Structure 1
Amino acid sequence: MTLLDGDGVDAVTLRGVARRLGVHLNSVSLQVGSKARLLDLMADAILGELSFDDLPADPIERIKAIFRRYRRVLLDHRDGAHLVSGTRVSETNTLRLGNAVIAALLDAGVDAELAVTTFWGLNYFVVGLVHEEQTLPDDGAQRFEQELEAHSFPALETVRDLFLGDDAEARLEFGMDALLHRARHQGD
Structure 2
Amino acid sequence: MTTRPLRADARRNIDAILEAATATLARDPDASVNDIARAAGVGRVTLYGHFENRAALVSAVVERAMADVDAVLQALDLSGDPAAALVRLVDATWAVTLRYGALVVAAERSLPAAEVAAAHGAPRERAQWLIDRGRAEGRFRTDLPASWLVTSLHTVTHAAANSVYDGELATDAAAHAIAATMLGLLTPPGEVVPDVAALTAH
Q: Does the pair score TM above 0.5?
A: yes
> Scaled by the length of structure 1, what TM-score is found?
0.64
Query: How many Å apart are 1:97 and its aligned residue?
Result: 0.8
96-105 or 16-25, which moves further after superposition? 16-25
Give the structure 2 partner of residue 97 of structure 1. 123
Q: Which amino acid aligns with 2:28?
A: G
Equivalent position to 1:43, from 62, 77, 80: 62
Q: Which amino acid aligns with 1:104?
A: L
Instruction: Give the secondary structure class of the aligned counterpart of 1:131.
Output: helix
* In 1: Cα distance, 2:60 partner to 2:117 partner: 8
Query: In 2 relative to 1, CA 93–69 (structure 1 residues): closer, same or farther, beyond 3 Å?
Result: farther
Give the structure 1 partner of residue 154 of structure 2. 123
Instruction: Give the secondary structure class of the aligned counterpart of 2:101.
Output: coil
Query: In 2 relative to 1, CA 179–41 (structure 1 residues): closer, same or farther, beyond 3 Å?
Result: farther
Unaligned runs of 5+ in 2: 1-21, 192-202
CA contact (8 A) 1:82 1:131 kept: yes
Does residue 177 (structure 1) correspond to residue 153 (structure 2)? The answer is: no
Instruction: Give the secondary structure class of the aligned counterpart of 1:27.
Output: helix
> Scaled by the length of structure 2, what TM-score is found?
0.61
CA contact (8 A) 1:129 1:168 kept: yes
* In 2: Cα distance, 1:84 partner to 1:179 partner: 26
Aligned residues: 154
Give the structure 2 partner of residue 72 of structure 1. 95
Q: How does 1:13-162 map to 2 (within 5 A)?
A: 13-50=32-69, 51-52=72-73, 53-58=75-80, 59-86=82-109, 87=111, 88=113, 89=115, 94-108=120-134, 109=136, 114-136=145-167
CA contact (8 A) 1:44 1:94 kept: no
102-111 or 172-181, which moves further after superposition? 102-111
Instruction: Give the secondary structure class of the aligned counterpart of 1:48.
Output: helix
Instruction: Give the secondary structure class of the aligned counterpart of 1:55.
Output: coil
CA contact (8 A) 2:90 2:179 kept: no
CA contact (8 A) 1:4 1:79 kept: yes
Moved over 4 A (4+): 90-93
* In 1: Cα distance, 2:131 partner to 2:149 partner: 8
Does residue 8 (structure 1) correspond to residue 14 (structure 2)? The answer is: no
CA contact (8 A) 1:79 1:134 kept: yes
Aligned CA-pair RMSD: 3.2
Query: How many Å apart are 1:104 and its aligned residue?
Result: 2.1
Instruction: Give the secondary structure class of the aligned counterpart of 1:23.
Output: coil
CA contact (8 A) 2:90 2:175 kept: no
Q: Which amino acid aligns with 2:35?
A: G
Query: How many Å apart are 1:132 and its aligned residue?
Result: 1.1
Query: In 2 relative to 1, CA 79–54 (structure 1 residues): closer, same or farther, beyond 3 Å?
Result: closer
* In 2: Cα distance, 1:68 partner to 1:83 partner: 22
Query: In 2 relative to 1, CA 41–181 (structure 1 residues): closer, same or farther, beyond 3 Å?
Result: farther
